[in-house]
Amino acid sequence: MSTPAREPRQERSRTTRRRLIDAAVECLGELGWSGTTVAEIAQRAGVSRGAAQHHFRTREDLVTAAVEYLGEVQVAQLRLRAEQLPPGESRIEPVVDMLLNLYTGAMFRAALHLWVAASSDDALRAVLAPLEARVGREAHRVALELLGVDEAHPGVREMVQATLDLARGLGLANLLSDDERRRARIIHQWARVLGSSLPEPGDTPKRPRKREITGLAR
């Protein structure tokens, strides 16, 4: 049986991939897209350029994998943290807190470098635009799930989209200075507004409760 020999090789390959992705994120954040080359990433990952190109032929392939991976990590972390929350209405503030803090770290900074570069680089845009849409849809799905709402209710889809667009705007505001205190007040306020305008968690569109205060069905 070749399994015992193959397993460590697969393991090693996964580790190399992961190190290349981590190095790509670090490199993007520090040097931007123009400084992010396969050679630079390979060096930071402690991998030969050939080995790096065995995994990822071009830097576009590499950053695509990185964005995809980061999206998955983010969603997994959200789900994990959400599992530890109490059920019911008291969830809304911690969930909004998680969502509105989603884009305040190094991952968003790296992605931002890519988005901005892609806005004037057609080849990069071609790989990034569909990927961005996919990662965005996944974030939206998780947000619905965490908030426990059904987007068949009129207005719910837009409120959840607005929450994630607001999160990205807050990420931008955090780019050049530490915006945590201001953001905390916005999070608190937004949780109140969402709490009174979203339908009750688990509510179905056929029999909306609290209709008079949702402000969504008018």
Of residues 128 and 142, the one with the C-beta less far from a second copy: 128
Q: Retrieve residue 135's tokens.
A: 């990662």
- Report H helices in the chain: 3-35, 38-45, 49-55, 59-83, 92-100, 106-118, 122-147, 156-173, 180-197, 211-214
3-state secondary structure of 209: coil
The interface with a second copy within residues 197-216 (CB under 8 A) comprises: 197, 213, 215-216
- In the complex, what is the shortest distance from the CB of residue 125 to a second copy, in angstroms, rounded to a whole number? 6
Of residues 51 and 115, the one with the C-beta less far from a second copy: 115
The interface with a second copy within residues 154-183 (CB under 8 A) comprises: 155, 157-159, 161-162, 164-173, 175-177, 182
Q: Distance between CA 48 and CA 46 in Å, rounded?
A: 7
Supply the Cα-derived Rg of the chain in whole angstroms: 20
Of residues 49 and 140, the one with the C-beta less far from a second copy: 140
Contact 164, 136 (CB under 8 A): yes
Close Cβ partners of 181 (under 8 Å, ≥ 6 residues apart): none
x/- contact string, 126-155, with a second copy (CB under 8 A)?
--xx--xx--x------------------x
Of residues 33 and 56, the one with the C-beta less far from a second copy: 33
Q: What residue ranges bind a second copy (CB under 8 A)?
A: 29-32, 34, 109, 112-113, 115-120, 125, 128-129, 132-133, 136, 155, 157-159, 161-162, 164-173, 175-177, 182, 185-186, 188-190, 192-193, 196-197, 213, 215-216, 218
